[in-house]
Amino acid sequence: MKRISLASRLALLFAGCTAVVSLLAGVLFNHASEAHFIELDQQLLDGKLIALRSTLQGADTPERFALRETTLREELNRQPDLALRITAGDQRWFDGAPGITLPQAPGLHSVQNAGTDYRVYNVPLVPGNADSPQLTLMLDITHHQHFLQRMQHLIWLTVGLSALATALLGAWAARSGLRPLRRMSEVASGVSAHSLTQRLPQEQMPVELAELAQSFNAMLGRLDDAFQRLSAFSADIAHELRTPLSNLLTQTQVILTQPRALEDYREALHSNLEELQWMAQLVNDMLYLAKADHGLLAPKRETLVLANEVDALLEFFAPLAEDVQVRLIREGGANTSGDRSMLRRAISNLLDNALRFTPPGGDVSVRIVEGMHGVTLSVENTGEGIPEALLPRLFDRFYRADPARHEGSSEHAGLGLAITQSIVRAHGGRIFCESGAGWTRFVMELPRGY
Amino acid sequence: MKLLIVEDQPKTGHYLRQGLAEAGFNTELVADGTTGQHLALTGDYDLLILDVMLPGRDGWQILQAVRNAGLDMPVLFLTARDAVEDRVHGLELGADDYLVKPFAFSELLARVRSLLRRGSSPPQETSLQLADLRMDLIRRRVERDGQRIDLTAKEFSLLELLLRRQGEVLPKSLIASQVWDMNFDSDTNIIEVAIRRLRLKVDDNFPNKLIHTVRGMGYVLEERFS
């Protein structure tokens, strides 16, 4: 089936409605006029009946009627639209309209004969006496019927014209009413990677479309955000690789410009190796994140005693913690199911991060709490808090709270927390960071059902 | 020890062969899968190093042919792709280990040695020794030049690993995995710190240093004469 445009659909509906409404009105009016005419005729006939009855008073036999016939004819001659027939039993005493068959029943009737319409009124000559001679009055009402016919024509014309007019007006109204939709589609078709900043003017939208416009704008916002992150990510990768690459290039070229002692070559190669290892680590981390982005991290489901896992990690981190004089504490415990080496990696990144920002003499404590819906593992460290505004950005790739930190290339690349987040998400959980005066806490929520 | 490398990238293959040859292995290199499979089936190798993507026959097919022929030498896969299904596929076919490019040569060497050692049951030593450093595995005591050295449990494990694999450069990842059972990429400097602390106890008071850092590769326990 061919699809009808919204505007035409509305226009047709309008036209249909108008036609139905005007037709109804016309039919009602027609009925009312007809009833009105009947009423008028009745009154007219009643008036004439009174006059006739007084003329024919006492004429209850043919002989007496004959005495009055002349007066009757004179009176009837004065009224050209009226004809009279007088019947008594089978006898017809008087007939002003010979040859026409008329209804016999008492009361008012409509009769058509040879292109002329009549109102026929049957009454007894003596009121209330059905046995007295029967008067049949015939009133010519052709002009009434003509009027009614003209009116019916007028009604059909009105129906047709008003339907047509509303169809046209409706089409125009629908088109202008749908203008915000067209505006919306113009914006939508104008969206590309370069113009993700364009938005629909929400306050100018009609109420019905405001919600749609809002969702549309929100979608654009999300796209814009994702796109920004993506392009920032590429830029960050290039930036991260630039420093070690330029070190490698410079150093190798400088070393090769003139003959050197064997030890110098060895030193240069070692130094190159460090840069290369850092780059390899970066690439591996990025591949890991790319896998996570594509939903390819498939955690195994082993039953893990989290207290044991955390203790093993704390033992691993013990030399480092002692070195920087930080106490490592574990509180609580719970079982969960998940991938041992992935979760160890996730927690290890949190511990590593915490140790980095804890001043000597401080504490890093891991708390495991079993809740209604799963297990919460938090890693809290003492030390300067993180400003509220920075909290959501902590898990961004390459984000570093301290921008000066990454110049020494052996430092980590700022992907640790992003990797932790990916791992937690792959386990169906979530992670967030809270911070206050003198403390920072990373909270990892792992659902029970995983 | 006879090794076969099937790797189609010339530079990678060349350096792998050179590195492994210098580590004391009798190494052969082929660049295509068909020749690789032929040699693997007929050459009586102790270990195969296979790239997954190869011209001719790919690494999986070679592995399958080798296992179908009833050969059970260890097989180590090198791959540029790190898809889970790849790993599962490889392990199902009977691969023994799996390295994803980019990898460090020291890591490869350590894994090759682990794989070759796996077959032979380790001798039941009661003590390990290097120069004047002695480790009593039964009483869990360490002495150097007759002096008792007190080590924590993990320090003891670390030194035991270094002693058992003396002369081998052990990458940090292998140490983390063997001593602490931490099997993930980690960019922390924990191993560095742990080695420093071990050194403090084992080497600092003696003129003849035994624990050495090989920059960018790992750590090695050996006697060096300057």
Q: How far is A349 from chain B (nearest CA, A)?
A: 8
Q: What is the pLDDT of residues A392-436, one digit of tens each?
A: 888 888 876 655 444 443 456 678 899 999 999 999 999 999 998
Phi first, then psi: give them for residue A349, nearest 5 degrees: -65, -40
Tell me the pLDDT tens digit for each residue of A312-363. Answer: 999 999 999 998 999 999 999 899 999 998 999 999 999 999 998 899 999 9
- Rg (chain B; Cα; Å): 20
User: Residue written as tokens 């814009």?
Assistant: A224
CA angle A357, B181, A358 (to 5 degrees): 10
Helical pair B172-180 and B105-119, crossing angle rounded to 10 deg: 40
> Does the global pTM surpass 0.90?
no
Residue B82 — very low, low, confident or very high, per pLDDT cuts 50/70/90? low
Identify the weakest region by mean pLDDT among A275-279, A446-450, B85-89, B167-171: B85-89
The residue in chain A having the minimum alpha-carbon distance to the alpha carbon of residue B171 is A277
Residue type, B91: L
A261-302 pLDDT, tens per residue?
999 999 999 889 888 988 888 888 888 888 888 777 888 888
Alpha helices (runs of H) in A56-141, residue ranges in sequence order: 62-77
* Residue B172 host element (H or E): helix B172-180
Interfacial B residues in 88-107 facing A (CB < 8 Å)? 100, 102-104
Please report the DSSP string for A302-316 in residue order: EEEEHHHHHHHHHHH
Tell me what the mean pLDDT of segment A23-33 comes to.
89
Separation of alpha carbons A335 and B223, rounded Å: 47
Closest CA to A268 of A245, A241, A248: A248
Interface of B with A in 65-84 (CB under 8 A): 82-84
Indicate the pLDDT class of residue B151, thresholds 50, 70 and 90.
Answer: very high
> Are A379 and A431 in contact, with CB atoms under 8 Å apart?
no
* B226 has a chain A CB within 8 A of its CB: no
Taking alpha carbons only, the member of B169, B215, B218 closest to residue B194 is: B218
For residues A381 and A438, what is the distance between their CA atoms, to the nearest angstrom? Answer: 8
Distances (CA, A) of A297 to A224, B24, B118: 26, 38, 30
Looking at beta carbons, which residues of chain B come within 8 Å of A281? 185, 187
A–B CB contacts, 8 A cutoff, strictly below: 73
Contact B188 A320 (CB under 8 A): yes
| Helices A262-293 & A207-256 angle (0-180, nearest 10) | 160
Q: Is the peptide bond before B102 cis (omega within 30 degrees of 0)?
A: yes
